[in-house]
Amino acid sequence: MSKQRLVMIGNGMAGVRTIEEIIDRDPDKFDITIIGKEPYPNYNRIMLSNILQKKMTVEETIMNPYSWYEENGIALITGEKATRVNREKHIVETEKGREIPYDICIFATGSKAFVLPIPGHELPSVIGWRTIEDTERMIEIAQDKKEATVIGGGLLGLECARGLLDQGMNVTVVHLAEWLMEMQLDRQAGDMLREDLEKQGMKFELGANTKEIIGNQDVEAIRLADGRDLPADLVVMAVGIKPFTQEAIDSGIDVERGIVVDDFMRTSDPEIYAVGECAQHNCKVYGLVAPLYEQGKVLADHLTGRPTEGYQGSTTFTSLKVSGCDLYSAGQIQEDDEVEGVEIYNSHDHVYKKIFLKEERVVGAVLYGDTDDGTRFFNMMKKREPIEDYTLVSLLQKVGEEAVSTVADMDDSETICGCNGVSKGKIVSAIVEDGLTSVAEVTKATKAGNSCGKCKPQIGELLEHTLGGAFVASKPAGICDCTELTRDQIVTQIRAKGLKTSKEVRHVLDWKNKGGCPKCRPAINYYLNMVYPHEHEDEKASRFANERYHANIQNDGTFSVIPQMRGGVTNPDQLIRLGEVAKKYDVPLVKVTGSQRIGLYGISKEDLPKVWKDLGMRSASAYAKKTRSVKSCVGKEFCRFGTQYTTRLGIRLEETFEYIDTPHKFKMGVSGCPRSCVESGVKDFGVIGVENGFQIYIGGNGGTEVTKGQFLTTVETEEDVIQLCGAYMQYYRETGIYAERTAPWLERMGFENVKEYVLDPERQKALYDRIMDAKRAVAEEPWSEIVNDQADQKIFKVEKV
């Protein structure tokens, strides 16, 4: 039996999910062609805000890579728009003249950002945020522009505003309503959200109407209805979405606000269907992912001949962190003659909860600050569970019972992943039957957690509950048992909540051990130094002892002292001084180190301050998680094989980046020819001189597991080397997990992603500028060493040489 030809117009989340469901049910029923106007495979549009907020790369948002289409025999056409469906000939026509025959056609064209038709809306820096291209354009503008205006204070607008703040812009949100997210939050929760976001640096104009965007060649300001002008270099429209329906209109299909469909997602043409944001069902168009996936399941059932009652509409919910602020909203959230509200407001903990009741059943909920009850309320709404067994005093806690706080207490029918409609029972069955042991495996098998990701902690709880002692939760490097937060979550919260000290971080982010531990204290101190290079006062007590002493403890309790020798270069005066100090303190061992310096070994703790004072030299930072030495050969100046002045370049690199904190030690090597006498190929940043310039290698690490550096590029001048090194180091500083070497960091981030990022001229310059700002903050610190961590700590100064 020959396969039917199925052509889908649109390559977005709802459409591709429909195809996934069809393949799951009957992989041999259709020959499938998908036409997408964007030049990408299917990606998670929800995560565009994470790209803008520097949490994810474009590649990390891809849900179905090109290989998935190939493995399933799907013909994918990208970067090409379908223009019309010729219903008489059963052909889909494209803008490039293709004619693709079909037996079944599905419109999954999604929606576009609604752009206010006001004067100036066509200026280049007015953007309706909807695609990867829009996101990249905003990041590009933010590189050299400072004033951003976001029109719209809904979920999308606030995520955009947070991202533009992270890009370094000053952001004002202009919103027509009297409070933020008025479609999802009541006034109390909206006001609490505004208060928290203002602390992050956002500015708001509420109850404000934009009448005009001012500018000649590009945006210069916006004009409000009250006559005020607000400066702006970038204007982002986040006032809503509009279904893409033009292709359907041109095809003669019934269209109102969206493409009109019945309960089986069928349009006015029985061989053409529509699903997702472009579809209108019972006079309603949905913009959240959960209803769109429900539609996709119904359509897949219908097309593969499975029994289905059809699509009956959806109860929508929002459960997200808006710029680090926890909120949840579901169902009807406004009181009227039939709906009444019950609320709790805890001003001390900044927590607000309100449920909305109709006929003794929950019909809506708004939660702010503590959203743990969101899933429970949502399941009560879906099941239309009466509240007669609950007491309203404790906000729907059953009388005589503890509040439902873990997924273990939930019924198997209750929903864990609202976006994908995955129940607890389905997840548990998959864990048991398929031997799943990680959240990633559960997501792959059930799709739970594959959209907004909010339910992943609950999936982890289910794994732990189901597997018991066999479950070992994976923890990212650098995070201790004091907190379950990842590195990215900690840094995001530091930025979002303006946390300025380690104590604030531990208390505000609810550390289990409020005092921290030897693993997390130095990590938090590093993250604070990285985020606030000028504002944060380095917490010396949080550093490892070796960093405080500027000396490394040896196996017999004595210490090694290694003074700075940039590029391995010294002079007679330094050598004489080293010799004199070694004699004076009867140093047992004077040795040339592996990093081309001279170390004094066997010094007592009590003698450390006096040794440093007598040397009059700065520490080489030989024991810290920061820029270490730069090894260099003699190069062109003396060696007959040398092609470049490598000693000079080594000294310049060390002078430029010395004492800058990094997630782990950062070593460099500069070799004058491909013989690489200083082993540049196993350095975090390795340079090899060649006739036409300098070859650059990154991610090389020595140690118990040796990692060979990967070739990055060849540059022409010493200035190019220094700028590229600074950009690479800063990217590592901003994205690395504390105590993570560059080799595993590079593997985690992806070599090609790092290469593309640091070789982009604009990004490279921006990164270099930021690391130079961090260097200035280091230079501003008085040169002091803390050499005793007892109660009577001594601090002494050493003059620069």
* Amino acid at site 311: Y
Sheet with strand 598-603: strands edge to edge: 552-553, 559-561, 598-603, 589-592
Structural tokens at position 548: 């405080």
* Amino acid at site 178: E
Quick check: helix, strand or coil at residue 161?
helix
Contact between residue 214 and residue 230 where contact means Cβ atoms under 8 Å apart = no
**Whole-number Å distance between alpha carbons of 487 and 699:** 20
- Cβ contacts of 529 within 8 Å, gap of 6 or more: 536, 538, 661
Tell me which DSSP letter residue 562 carries: -
CB-count burial class (<10 Å; 0-12, 13-18, 19+) for 345:
middle
**Whole-number Å distance between alpha carbons of 295 and 311:** 6
Report the run of H or E that residue 731 belongs to, with start and end.
helix 718-735
**Is 633 marked within a binding site?**
yes
**Is 673 marked within a binding site?**
yes
Q: Which residue has the tokens 């009541």?
A: 186
- Cβ contacts of 256 within 8 Å, gap of 6 or more: 280, 283
**Whole-number Å distance between alpha carbons of 274 and 271:** 10
Quick check: helix, strand or coil at residue 24?
helix
Query: Which of 137, 34, 114 lies closest to 79, judged by CA?
Result: 34
Which stretches of 672-719 are assigned E, i.e. beta strand? Answer: 685-690, 693-698, 710-715
**Whole-number Å distance between alpha carbons of 150 and 158:** 8
**Whole-number Å distance between alpha carbons of 168 and 344:** 37
Structural tokens at position 219: 């945006």
What DSSP string runs through 533-552? TTTS---GGGS-HHHHHTSE
Q: Are strands 589-592 and 598-603 parallel, antiparallel or unpaired?
A: antiparallel
Tell me which DSSP letter residue 625 carries: S
**Whole-number Å distance between alpha carbons of 567 and 682:** 17
Whole-angstrom CA distances from 433 to 342, 414, 436 are 42, 19, 8
Ranges of H-type helices in 116-251: 132-142, 155-166, 187-200, 246-250
Q: How far is CA 529 from the centre of its chain?
A: 20
CA within 13 Å, CB half, 28: 2
Quick check: helix, strand or coil at residue 505?
helix
Which stretches of 48-158 are assigned E, i.e. beta strand? Answer: 62-64, 75-77, 82-86, 91-94, 99-101, 104-107, 111-113, 126-128, 147-151
CB-count burial class (<10 Å; 0-12, 13-18, 19+) for 29:
middle
CB-count burial class (<10 Å; 0-12, 13-18, 19+) for 118:
middle
Beta bridge partners of 272: 105
**Is 482 marked within a binding site?**
no
**Is 455 marked within a binding site?**
no
Q: Are strands 241-243 and 91-94 parallel, antiparallel or unpaired?
A: unpaired
**Whole-number Å distance between alpha carbons of 411 and 298:** 24
Contact between residue 52 and residue 27 where contact means Cβ atoms under 8 Å apart = no
**Whole-number Å distance between alpha carbons of 301 and 295:** 10
Which stretches of 279-360 are assigned E, i.e. beta strand? Answer: 279-281, 317-322, 325-331, 340-346, 351-358
Which stretches of 704-779 are assigned E, i.e. beta strand? Answer: 710-715
Q: Which residues are annotated as a binding site for siroheme?
A: 677
Q: Which residues are annotated as a binding site for [4Fe-4S] cluster?
A: 633, 639, 673, 677
Q: Which residues are annotated as a binding site?
A: 633, 639, 673, 677
